[in-house]
């Protein structure tokens, strides 16, 4: 297969983990005879510094023309601490999602047996937890009408029927491919937007008789996720709830640096780790590259290249078993491996297979 990949390293630890992702991708392409081309593009604070725009037109063009985007992270404390900043790195990410029409964000939450003890939850509780959060990504409060003056501010949580239908469809489709259990998460006891979600979900459910569909308020879902994470199979929810719940979900596995995601929809799909840019770790070679590397696995799988994805997952598992791990998940007294060394080990494993 020929693949044109737009690579957006972004800020903070972004460039370091991006390099590991690309290396792994090269190794897999070599092994399976695929031809991939990489076009690098600016985004985030880096793009603001260089061209004054967190998602420049040129980046949009490169993304639009690519088959997939390998994205790393954006964000910089210089902007977080400045309430007067007119542009922010995060706007680049939101612009990318919106302009590429990426309405479905798929965030798998998985556990790794050998890392169960790293979870803030008891190992016996998280063992075997394996669910998919499907987050609506281009609607709701993130993009609804906003207003702010000195005394009043609001964000509008607007959703239309087509927006809700298309994301629920994605939810049902994933549930059909998995354990056929879909949980629709909302706040229908309070919010009109949620009541519409629930109404539409109830209308659609009979078309998927094999799927057990249940409805859960978001506050309850937040609790259930840490009380009984194995309850969930596929969870679908709106943009803001999904943002919050997926950070919560990511803790279950023991490190934020482990979980990848895919954003899909109308335009070029984007594959990215769920963690942020961790500016304090920039250049220190300590960030975990696994979420980025697993994003590459999701990229291959998206194009139906299951064996390629499986080999990456096997290599990641092998690196964990061999205790080739970044500091935050290393065993006590274990050898020190940095971002680069973990990436190199995985690349070598793939090449040697």
> Which residues here bind ligand IPM, judged by CB under 6 A?
90, 93-94, 243
Whole-number minimum distance, CB 247 to Mg ion, in Å? 5
Query: Catalytic pick from 187, 208, 233, 337?
Result: 187
**Min dist. Cβ of residue 90 to ligand IPM (A):** 4
Establish if 344 lies at the interface with Mg ion (CB under 5 A). Answer: no
Strand order in the sheet with 181-186: 35-40, 2-10, 68-73, 270-273, 260-264, 104-110, 130-136, 234-237, 181-186, 212-217
CB–CB of 88/54 below 8 Å? Answer: yes
Q: Is 187 a catalytic residue?
A: yes
State which of positions 227-256 bind Mg ion (CB under 5 A). Answer: 243
Active site residue 127: no
Residues in the chain, total: 353
Residues 6 or more apart whose CB falls under 8 angstroms from that of 86 comprise none
Annotated catalytic residue within 98, 243, 282, 344: 243
| Residue 282 appears among annotated catalytic residues | no
Cα torsion 89, 93, 95, 100 to 10°: value is: 160
Q: Is the distance from CB of 245 to CB of 187 less than 8 angstroms?
A: no
CA 307 to chain centre: 21
x/- mask, Mg ion, residues 5-24, rule CB under 5 A, reads --------------------
Residue least distant from ligand IPM (Cβ): 90
Query: Nearest distance from residue 242's CB to Mg ion, in Å?
Result: 8
**Residue 11 contact among ligand IPM, Mg ion, none, beta carbon within 5 to 8 Å by kind:** none
Nearest to 103 by CA among 59, 148, 169, 17: 169
Contacts of 290 (CB under 8 A, 6+ apart): 257, 258, 316, 319, 326, 342
Selecting among 219, 317, 323, 353, the annotated active-site residue is 219
**Chain mean position to CA 350:** 23
CB of 93 to ligand IPM, least distance (A): 5
**Is the CB of 136 or the CB of 233 nearer to ligand IPM?**
136
Which option in Mg ion, ligand IPM, none does residue 205 bind, with CB closer than 5 to 8 A by kind?
Answer: none
CA 221 from centre of chain: 19
CB-neighbour burial class of residue 43 (10 A; exposed 0-12, middle 13-18, buried 19+): buried
Question: Which of 49, 243 has the CB closer to Mg ion?
Answer: 243
Residue closer to Mg ion by CB (options 97, 325) is 97
Q: Is 243 a catalytic residue?
A: yes
**Of 46 and 341, which has the nearer Cβ to ligand IPM?**
46
Nearer to ligand IPM, 105 or 213 (CB): 105
- Quick one: what does residue 90 bind among ligand IPM, Mg ion, none, with the CB cut-off 5 to 8 Å set by partner type? ligand IPM
SS3 percent helix, strand, coil of the chain, rounded to 5, is: 50, 20, 30
Task: Indicate which residues carry an active-site annotation.
Answer: 142, 187, 219, 243, 247
**Residues of this chain that bind Mg ion (CB under 5 A):** 243
């Amino acid at each position: 297969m020929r693949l044109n990949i737009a690579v957006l390293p972004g800020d903070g630890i972004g460039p370091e983990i991006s390099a590991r992702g690309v290396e792994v991708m090269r190794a897999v392409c070599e092994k399976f005879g695929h031809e991939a081309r990489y076009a690098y593009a600016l985004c985030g604070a880096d793009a603001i510094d260089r061209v004054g725009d967190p998602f420049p037109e040129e980046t949009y063009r490169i993304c639009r023309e690519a088959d997939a985007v390998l994205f790393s992270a954006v964000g910089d404390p210089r902007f977080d601490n400045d309430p007067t900043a007119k542009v922010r790195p995060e706007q680049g990410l939101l612009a990318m999602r919106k302009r590429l029409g990426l309405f479905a964000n798929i965030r798998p939450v998985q556990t790794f047996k050998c890392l169960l003890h790293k979870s803030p939850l008891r190992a016996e509780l998280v063992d075997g937890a394996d669910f998919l959060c499907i987050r609506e990504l281009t609607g709701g409060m993130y993009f609804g009408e906003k207003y702010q003056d000195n005394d009043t501010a609001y964000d509008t949580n607007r959703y239309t029927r087509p927006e809700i239908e298309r994301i629920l469809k994605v939810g049902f489709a994933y549930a059909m491919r998995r354990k056929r259990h879909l949980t629709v998460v909302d706040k229908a006891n309070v919010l009109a937007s949620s009541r519409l979600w629930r109404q539409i979900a109830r209308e659609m459910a009979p078309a998927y008789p094999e799927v057990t569909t249940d409805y859960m308020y978001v506050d309850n879902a937040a609790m259930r996720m840490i009380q009984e994470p194995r309850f969930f199979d596929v969870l679908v929810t709106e943009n803001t709830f999904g943002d919050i719940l997926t950070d919560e979900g990511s803790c279950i596995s023991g490190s934020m640096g482990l979980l990848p995601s895919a954003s899909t929809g109308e335009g070029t799909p984007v594959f990215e780790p769920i963690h942020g840019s961790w500016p304090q770790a920039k250049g220190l070679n300590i960030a975990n590259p696994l979420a980025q590397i697993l994003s590459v696995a999701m990229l291959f799988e998206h194009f139906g290249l299951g064996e390629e994805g499986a080999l990456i997952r096997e290599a990641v598992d092998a690196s964990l078993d061999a205790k080739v791990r970044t500091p935050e998940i290393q065993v006590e007294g274990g050898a020190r491996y940095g971002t680069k060394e973990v990436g190199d080990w995985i690349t070598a494993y793939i090449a040697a297979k």
